[in-house]
Amino acid sequence: MLSRGDRAWWDPNARLVRCVACVADAPADPWAGLDPEQRGAAGASARSLYERKVQARETRVRSRHPKLGGLILAVTEEPASTTSWRTGAEGERRVGRRLEALADGGRIEVLHDRSIPGSRANLDHLVVGPSGIFVVDAKRYKGRIEARRNGSFPGPGPDRLFVDGRDRTRLVETLARQVEVVRAALHHLYADPPIAVVPVLCFIDADWPLVGAPARFGEVHVVGPRGLERLVGGDGPIGRNQRLSLARRLADGLPPAPATPARASGSRPR
């Protein structure tokens, strides 16, 4: 019997409200976890688009230069607008491997490369951990990560994110929109307290200052791969069965991205 103020979990399939302790103590779910098809493949859509761009360039060059096309392709570099997709795909795969190691150990559930309803954009990774759901955007940028105060009248504005001296604050702004997509996918789910949906920027190959590394920009956590593992695997009230239930719901509401998406920011994926 639930009393006023008790923490509870809504099971939409059984249409029952159950106490958190009851769900946590329930026998292990017969599924050991999500299968590979449900998880999706990290970086799959970015890699697919890269390969399509490579093929389109080769077709274009060979059609314009029937005799010298092969030589031109061999001695010229791919344009940055093409290689950025390969770079982004590799970054997503590297983050995906780390997350899958945690998932295989039963600590989290993870989904990769998810589509956004009504959009050609995609989400890199969704993680259901003990403390909440994490929307993870992987970026393979090089250079120093830093926060700079944004001066504005009559006082200082919010911090801005810089990578290698370039303002990348738009990445923070994009994640806020992705969080709303995930919340919408869970709109019928009731939990008390509500399940946290946490935006995370994970930078691969970036340089971090020894002191004062930025950890938060508003609600957005900014981390490296090791920091991501600590964040998503941290302790919390969401048990294994609950994590599986949430992951399945997200897998249904946000299926794997199609082969030729655009990024959620509308820019190249590096």
The side-by-side arrangement of strands in the sheet containing 132-139 is 109-115, 122-129, 132-139, 197-203, 220-223, 216-217
Q: Has residue 261 been placed in a domain?
A: no
Q: Has residue 14 been placed in a domain?
A: no
Q: Has residue 78 been placed in a domain?
A: yes
185 pLDDT above the threshold of 50: yes
Give the span between the Cα atoms of 249 and 132, in whole angstroms: 14
Half-sphere exposure of residue 177: CA atoms within 13 angstroms, side-chain side: 14
Closest-CA residue to 131 (of 20, 239, 22)? 239
pLDDT grade for 187, boundaries at 50, 70 and 90? confident
Q: Has residue 60 been placed in a domain?
A: yes
128 pLDDT above the threshold of 90: yes
Please name the residue that has the structure tokens 């080769």.
58
Q: Has residue 157 been placed in a domain?
A: yes
Count the domains in the chain.
1
pTM: 0.78
- Provide the residue range defining the domain that includes 135: 37-253
Give pLDDT tens digits for 202-253.
Answer: 999 888 875 555 678 888 999 999 999 999 999 999 998 889 989 998 998 8
Assign 3-state DSSP to the chain and report helix, strand, coil percentages, each to 5. Answer: 35, 25, 35
Which one is predicted more confidently, 23 or 252?
252
